[in-house]
Chains A and B, each alone.
Chain A
Amino acid sequence: MSNVIWMIIGMGLVTYIPRMLPFVAFEGGRFPPFLQGVLKNVPYAILGALIFPGILFIHDELWFVLLGALIAFGLSYIGANVIIVVIGAILCLSFVSFLF
């Protein structure tokens, strides 16, 4: 086997272990209430951290980024399904990019 394959196996293991450990080691709903509260907060905090500042780096032009964010925000605010939000944002930005 090539060295690269061994490296891939190593990368796979160190990525899988943190993913799997909490599911196997912890029983859901057994933590003290405060910690359970923190874990319930995690999804919304992570979404904030994943969106910003990463979104700023998808394009050199800031207006392009803002337009994309605005379209996604607007579509989801009026209650569009996530898949519509994604396709809508892609199509609008592709069209704008095609024009300019």
Chain B
Amino acid sequence: MNGTMVQNQSSQLKLGIQGGLTIAIGYMPIAITYGFIAKSTELSLLETVLMSAFVYAGASQYMALDMIARSVGMIEIVITTFIVNIRHFLMSASLNEKTEKVARWKKALYAFGITDETFSVAAVQKDKLSASYMFGLNITAYSSWVFFSAVGFLIGEILPEFFQEGMSVALYAMFIGLLVPSMKGNRKVVILATIAAVFHSFFSFLHLLSTGWAIVVSTLLSACLVELVYYKKEEEGKESE
């Protein structure tokens, strides 16, 4: 391996860690709240931290706690978790189109860190995604999630309420911060996001689909419909040339 490659790898790693820091901040309040609820659901500290470390998916962990509290069966909890998290399949398939070619075991390893948030940050990058970038991004976000789950269990609601309320916007602010720069001067992006948001509202307000499926279906509908229109346009453009 030559010098420039090593240098390139470490700068990619740094870039990934930088992207991960935003997520790490956003995860803090959610992980602390999770840890706090886990304690009141009478999970042990070990179980609380293991769930964050093994499952690493916020929404499904909250759901599991709620179901444990209502004494729902464990098999049912596992099945619900699967349904809520199936959307990651779509994210990984999309990311796989823009990752650099590396050994499959490396991909299998960083795949563990794919969440709504790490996916969003990685997906709006302009360049191809290197393994070093993905590891930097995922390890930073993951550490925050696991660490603050434990903090939440141990010290609970230590943050003043006004700060908790302010923190509640963190992840949404991040999603907006990732989307808006891509929307500028790109009508296709605006349409894609709007149509998906409309479908998702429709499905969730009418309670037609569970949360996991609602995101998958509205995303696919929007991505396919918009592609149909643009694909046709491009084909027509080619024919008229």
Residues of A with Cβ closer than 8 Å to B? 2-12, 14-16, 18-24, 26, 28-29, 31, 33-34, 36-55, 58-59, 64, 68-69, 71-73, 75-77, 79-80, 82-83, 85-98
- Those 6 A-B pairs whose CB atoms lie nearest each other, nearest first: A94-B166, A48-B193, A12-B54, A85-B177, A43-B123, A89-B173
Name the one of B55, B85, B161, B188 contacting A18, with C-beta atoms under 8 angstroms: B85
Asked if B60 is at the interface of the complex by the 8 Å CB criterion, the answer is: yes
Minimum C-beta distance from B46 to chain A (A): 8
Name the one of A15, A29, A79, A82 contacting B57, with C-beta atoms under 8 angstroms: A15
Name the one of A9, A21, A40, A52 contacting B94, with C-beta atoms under 8 angstroms: A40
Interface string of B43-57 (1 = CB under 8 A from A): 100010011001111
Which residues of chain B are near A7, meaning CB under 8 Å? 64, 74, 77-78
CB contact list, B180-220 vs A, under 8 A: 180-182, 184, 188-189, 192-197, 199-201, 204-205, 214-215, 218-220
Rounded to whole angstroms, the CA-CA distance of A73 and B114 in the bound complex is 25
Asked if B15 is at the interface of the complex by the 8 Å CB criterion, the answer is: no
Interface residues on B, range: 35 or more
Contact B223 A22 (CB under 8 A): no
Contact A52 B219 (CB under 8 A): no
Contact A91 B47 (CB under 8 A): no
Contact A38 B223 (CB under 8 A): yes
Which residues of chain A are near B199, meaning CB under 8 Å? 49
Contact A42 B223 (CB under 8 A): yes
Rounded to whole angstroms, the CA-CA distance of A58 and B101 in the bound complex is 39
Name the one of B99, B162, B196 contacting A48, with C-beta atoms under 8 angstroms: B196
Given A15-B55, A15-B60, are A72 and B169 also a contact pair (CB < 8 Å)? yes
Given A19-B111, A68-B172, A68-B173, are A44 and B165 also a contact pair (CB < 8 Å)? no
Which residues of chain B are near A8, meaning CB under 8 Å? 47, 50-51, 54-55
Contact B111 A97 (CB under 8 A): no
Contact B97 A39 (CB under 8 A): yes
Rounded to whole angstroms, the CA-CA distance of A20 and B93 in the bound complex is 9
Name the one of B74, B93, B173, B179 contacting A22, with C-beta atoms under 8 angstroms: B93
